[in-house]
Amino acid sequence: MNIAEILLRLHQNSYYFFAIILFVIGFHTMLTHNNLIKKVIGMNIMDTAIFLFFVSIGYIRGGRAPILEPGADHLYVNPLPSALILTGIVVAVSITAYALSLIVKLYQHYGTIDAEEIIRLRGGETS
């Protein structure tokens, strides 16, 4: 396989490639940062990668909206992944809002949003 074939396959599957790259960026952000807000941002990047992946599964190049016309023979785009992603976006926004509200409460109680600092401060408590 030469470089032209590799680039052609990458171009044909670019949505999958970018979804994987986005997921790795989000995962790396969640693992390497102690700042809780940066962890939430990393989680949102991972959510976006998953949304891109699922929508790209239902996409067909040259496809049309799945509206049946009498006598027409077209390729249709699968609407199910897009419909599921709408639900996923609502859930992701809700989880993000809840996580940020918890971070605000943690900041009010501990005075920091650094995860390791909170663990260190919590180690001195007995509850």
The pLDDT value given to residue 101:
97
Question: CA 11, CA 3: separation in Å to the nearest integer?
Answer: 12
- Which residue segment(s) compose the domain that 35 sits in? 3-123
**Helix (H) or strand (E) segment spanning residue 18:** helix 14-32
User: What is the number of structural domains in the chain?
Assistant: 1
DSSP 66: S
Q: How confident is the model at residue 30 (pLDDT cuts 50, 70, 90)?
A: very high
CB 115 within 8 A of CB 36: yes
CATH number of the CATH domain containing 115: 1.10.287.3510
Contact 118, 111 (CB under 8 A): no
* Structure tokens belonging to residue 73: 């023979």
Structure confidence by residue, pLDDT tens digits, 60-111: 777 777 777 777 677 777 778 888 899 999 999 999 999 999 999 999 999 9
pLDDT digit string, tens, across residues 33-62: 999 999 999 999 999 999 999 888 877 777
